[in-house]
Structure 1
């Protein structure tokens, strides 16, 4: 007799219960034993927990429901400010207090989670039980990728699960970074192509989605795109005036500030994770975030609140119809690029070897001395440079010219 699975509240109610208990998705993930992305997928309804994870998650939600009923009228105390030391002087320390409002938005949703249905060309999360369990296994840190029947997933299946999980959101995030739709799609495709080429390294990474996200961000923010002919002219801006204003403000920010703001207020990473992904220190990341928020609030005062900024970033990213290619197309393109560069390297090596062999074949095998300069022979005066003719030479030239004959008679010598 099979045991019925533990009951779970609706997907929308799960996030409200967590927020009412003043818990973040990372804290819930730590208690259940999964990653933060898995908790987000459970709360958004994209996936459903199974097995022991479902029991642990249902038990946690039941405890949060009881606590919410008891403390329904109480408000959670605001988190204390975070103090960051900006220098290493023990006698005169210079600190920076990050206020509670700098914290991540209350709804720690990965940007974006649109409510509108996706287009048919946009890959969605797999819906079959095997694919759902493969996705959950992929999201769990340090877990082995196994299917529904306990068999290990093939690299292609694991790659397709990762692509279906985060490709659509990454395209929209890259659009907020670059302001170009085609560049956003190209950035995500190149990032996944590189991930497929290095799949043995990415598959064992602690956060495969973060690895691909960092690669896509680096490609989207590359300054060399301005020299490409296809990206010299700007693309049409968003149709809505408010979306256009927010995108203009984002594009005026420096690239590190824009990336920090998107990771913290858009994706929902905390300050240490944002600093690690942007390869900066925690104080520098905090300063970038503060300056970016001040720049946005100076031009758009209604977005001074982090929660409002997070909501508007998700709305702007979800308003665009950005389609990502299928995982099979990305894997095929990655293999074709790898073959092309491999053949190019082989052809270049063959050309160098051929040029070296030709040089060795045609090079002289013995020393040939250079032609020495002329030497003076005894009894022969050196040849002088041409100059003016003497009187005798002039008379001789006149005589020769006057005695010129034409026809056959010029070949018969005359007796004098």
Structure 2
């Protein structure tokens, strides 16, 4: 539901503005959390957890559009590096806090916590402090208040000539068919999906022998992945901007370090994690694998979303939504697949398959990036130098 709902929220924010979508999604999240809190059976709980996914989808796709509104292209990687930290660390903090709450007060306490925090902190901040950032809407407001200042803005003509439109949900999916996006969307999908598959299988393995850990301690075991994500995301966000500054004529160069990182780090991390749990060896090996799984995923996402924002600035929300859809659908599918395949062939073989797919997709994307990067360098070398003013 997170994946498919992104196809509506992202384009809607491009057309109607970012703030109204944030507020609507937050109210819907609070409402569905309250129903989850009082769910009388598992059927109601699962149904409203799915509806929660609709609201959650708004924050990534709309957030990426917001960054494209606010930050210049040369800072989009750094901005996305910081923006991705909550997305990647949230699934780690959730089990840590949720495990403690569930063990102490029961599972309903997790939804009480979510409802109170969203209603008392998040929603007031959105209503009172969050400015609208959608450039077309803000320019129209400025024209009414101060036409002279609006006319003097350097980008006013460009913004006015590109009024936002609402793209139907199937239109963002067309972005995925573009050669400049498709291979990188595949890498994002397998990277994000593999991370979520590891998160799903982790508590199942740790609650069984020989580990036999409690719910609270299992929550603590998620921390290494969160630390890896927290460290890698801002670093590779900056590296994305650095690569873009060195190759201003080739947007895909922004992805060179991110893709190389997933190519080098993710396959070995998945192999270590899967086979450590398969042979039930020291839990330290599993945690090391989780650390690098988190770091690898966090190293890639700032680059891909910074790239999309720079490539499709006037439709940044829709473009981000398209890739976000593939990521979350992949994660949902791999969670279902892992629950079946691990039981049939074991943790080691399953994560070996994921490592192989990760290597193939990342290597193909990296080769494409390097080819375009070299072609851009050749064009620059062959172009005649600009004539001086005196000449």
TM-score, with structure 2 as normaliser: 0.28
> Based on CA coordinates, which of the two structures has the bigger radius of gyration?
1
TM-score, with structure 1 as normaliser: 0.26
